[in-house]
Amino acid sequence: MMKQYVRYAAWAGLVMAAGAVAWAQAGQLGPVPVNSVYTHATGIAVDGHGNLFVADAGAAQVDEILAGTGGAAAGTVSSGSTVVTVGSGFQKPTGVAVDAMGDVFVADAGAAQVDEILAGTGGAAAGTVTNGSTVVAVGSGWMQPSGVAVDLHGDVFVADPAALAVKEIAAGTGSAAAGTVNASSTVTVVGAGFSQPSSVAVDMSGNVYVGDPGSKKLFEIEAGTGGAMTGVVNASSTVVTLTPTNANPLGVSVDPAGDVFFASPVPGAVYEILAGTGSAAPGTVNATSTEVALGNWTTQPTALAANTTGTVFVVASNSVWQVAANSSSGATPVGNFTLTVNQGTSVVSTQEGVTVTVPYSVTSTSGFTGMVAMTCAAPTGYTCQLSPATLSLTQGATQSGTLMVTQPAATAAVQPAGRAAGRSSGALALASLLWMPGMLVGGLAFRRKLARNAGWMRWMGVCLVLLSSAGLLCGAGLLSGCNYPNPNFQTHQTSYQVTVMVTASGGTVQQNVPLYLQVQLPGATTGTTPALRGAGM
């Protein structure tokens, strides 16, 4: 929604012999061929469901390895997993990333543009893409885009080695909606001093990592520096070096714990920089952080993507491998977490137009350590906000915050249909009660036209008939101004669903919890609560 928010791409600068999709565990010396589909695999990303996306510059296409197919367990891939092509029209796709909504971003060095494959289009189910999905260009002014990443807010970061720059496509600018980008979105340079920036990744805190084989260094653009706001980078942000000069980082990724991974074809290795080691604070890395090698490689790794369950997927020699994170350090792989909203009470009684504030908490389980992002979704007309929106979890710890939901004031536009129906049925009931006495009194009055009291009886009958006629017209919806708040004819309450989502950096661990707002209508009578609406949100 969960919307794996960060997924990283890398650019492979070496063309190896045509190979195959393959898998190898740490300690194996070579990949096991399972599917000869890649001619020049250059970038890789993994989404929140465990699906892998691979950019194949040689075949001018992007492929998806479907999790849970070919005998693989749900959320995982295996040697027999199905491989399908997604999107179309690429010339030389070199980097790939995927956001929380399932949209796939492609850096196309051959076309000098960055494309987005829109999820849920071309006949694809919501949150998925196919080869018929719509492909649109995002941002502009590229020279040779090769690596791409997307952050929690929908901002897209692009490594452009020909421009010697890393650029950001700002979400919600130009004509794009909040959290999205399009061709009119603003593009700005972030950081400075790069020689050949070829891959890029971004963490939960907004720090941007850049693989620069030209300078043989891995850089970090620090968020909140150079006059930028917290969680944001700009052209003046501080750029620090994370690796020694003997590395050649072509691919880069980061996991929820803040560990940074990079692929170096020379000397042929995959490295992990352990967060919280050296002089670095927990969840961060710096130049003093411990660096460990993962796996034994006889090929040249050029791109990688880390998920949140302790696995790193690596492109090497046009094959895809997997290796366990922290395999050299013996650290516990990333675990899971639980989300609790309103202390476990799923229904909140409230009034229209009232702002509701409830607590939430996220608890680390199975050794989870890292950053998580909080998001929420509310019905049309309602707004929701979480504070804080990001949390840093350590093993076994619980972090808390608040959810605030603002409801619209009672207006005709947001009043539920049952309310109008209650008033209409009330008008009809009133009409039926008044019509018969009115006709009876009026009839008697006219029959006794010589009696002294015939005058007032005639007038009473006329009044009752007029009132009953008005009730009939209101009930039938033929008379305006009948939308009055009469508590006698409002018979139920209405409930709305607000969904709270917590997602780990990288997006492969995600939980959703619904909160139901049981809205008491002004003057409504109590009684049996109807089925909750919006349960499909």
On whether residue 147 sits in a domain, the answer given is yes
Task: For residue 530, tell me if it sits in a domain.
Answer: no
- Whether residues 172 and 138 fall in one domain: yes
Can you tell me the distance from the alpha carbon of 30 to that of 27, in angstroms, rounded to the nearest whole number?
Answer: 9
Q: Does a structural domain hold residue 15?
A: no
Residue 526 placed within a domain = no
pLDDT digits (tens, 9 = 90+) for 228-283: 998 999 999 999 999 776 678 999 999 877 899 999 988 788 899 988 888 988 88
Residues 6+ apart with CB under 8 A from 537: 377, 379, 497, 499, 514
3-state secondary structure of 14: coil
Same domain, 254 and 167: yes
CATH code, 388: 2.60.40.10
Range of the domain at 308: 21-26+33-324
- This prediction has a pTM of 0.61
pLDDT at residue 343 in the model: 83
Boundary-marking domain end, from 280, 297, 324: 324
* C-alpha closest to that of 496 among 422, 418, 407, 412: 407
CATH number at residue 233: 2.120.10.30
Is residue 6 one of the residues assigned to a domain? no
Peptide bond into 282 cis (omega under 30): no
pLDDT by residue for the chain (537 residues), tens digit each?
Answer: 333 323 333 322 222 222 223 333 333 333 333 344 678 889 999 988 889 999 999 999 999 999 888 888 888 887 788 999 999 999 999 999 999 889 999 999 999 999 999 999 999 999 999 999 999 999 999 999 999 999 988 999 999 999 999 999 999 999 999 889 999 999 999 999 999 999 999 998 899 999 999 999 999 999 999 999 989 999 999 999 997 766 789 999 998 778 999 999 887 888 999 888 889 888 889 999 988 888 777 678 899 998 877 788 888 888 888 887 764 333 333 456 788 888 878 788 888 888 889 999 988 876 666 778 888 888 878 888 889 988 887 767 888 999 999 888 764 333 333 334 444 445 445 555 555 555 555 555 555 444 455 566 566 656 655 655 655 555 555 554 454 444 433 434 467 788 888 877 655 466 777 788 887 765 544 433 333 333 333
Crossing angle of helices 417-447 and 454-475, rounded to 10°: 160
Whether residue 510 is found in the same domain as residue 393: yes
Judgement on whether residues 126 and 77 belong to the same structural domain of the protein: yes
Do 163 and 270 sit in the same domain of this protein? yes
Is residue 364 assigned to a domain? yes
User: Cα–Cα distance between 520 and 525 in angstroms, integer?
Assistant: 9
Answer whether residue 49 is part of any domain.
Answer: yes
Do 373 and 421 belong together in one domain?
no
Q: Give CA–CA dist 140/162, Å, rounded.
A: 14
Residue 13 within a domain: no
Task: Give tens-digit pLDDT for 436-462.
Answer: 555 555 555 555 444 455 566 566 656
| Tokens linked to 262 | 């990079």
Say if residue 361 is exposed, middle or buried (CB neighbours under 10 Å; 0-12, 13-18, 19+).
middle
Residues 384 and 431 in one domain: no
Do residues 355 and 273 share a domain? no
Distances from the Cα of 299 to the Cα of 15, 24, 28, 478, angstroms: 12, 12, 11, 79
Measured distance CA(497)–CA(512) in Å, rounded: 12
What are the φ and ψ backbone dihedral angles of 301, each rounded to 5 degrees?
Answer: -65, 135
- The answer to whether residues 352 and 428 belong to one domain is no
Q: How far is CA 531 from CA 348, 518, 528, in A?
A: 15, 11, 10
8 Å CB contact between 181 and 169: yes
The 10 Å Cβ neighbour count of residue 409 is 10
Nearest to residue 26, comparing CAs of 317, 290, 310? 310
Give the 3-state secondary structure of residue 345. Answer: coil
| Statement to judge: residues 146 and 60 lie in one domain | yes
Domain count, the chain: 3
Backbone angles phi, psi at 315, to 5 degrees: -95, 125
Same domain, 279 and 197: yes
CB 255 within 8 A of CB 284: no
Q: Which of 192, 227, 184 is nearest to 208 (CA)?
A: 192
Same structural domain for residues 508 and 432? no
